[in-house]
Amino acid sequence: MAKSIKTVRKMIQYASEIKRKSFSIDNLTVGVKCALTDTTSGIAANPAVGVAVDMLIDMGATVILGEPIEAIGAEKV
């Protein structure tokens, strides 16, 4: 546990020193993956992710679907 805590502290220190900088959204690539399908996936999660993905693509980003088998019926998209 002590080794893990030390590692996390180093990671936090490293991350705190990184300076943010702007970039064009067409340089953004986002990966999406369904971790677990349950009753809420089709009701809330999948539609919400779909809206977000559509918005990102419309703005010029690239989105990669990690499980294309989940998109049955969307082979031509």
Q: H helices of 1-77, where?
A: 2-17, 39-40, 46-59
The string of pLDDT tens digits covering residues 29-52 is: 999 987 777 777 778 888 888 899
- Partnered with residue 29 across adjacent β-strands are 62
d(CA 30, CA 47): 17
pLDDT of residue 3: 96
Position 37 scores a pLDDT of 74
Q: Report which of residues 71 and 56 the model is more confident about.
A: 56
> What's the pLDDT at 38?
75
Question: Could you give the count of Cα atoms lying within 13 Å of 16 in the half-sphere of its Cβ?
Answer: 6
Instruction: Give the percent of the chain with pLDDT over 70.
Output: 87
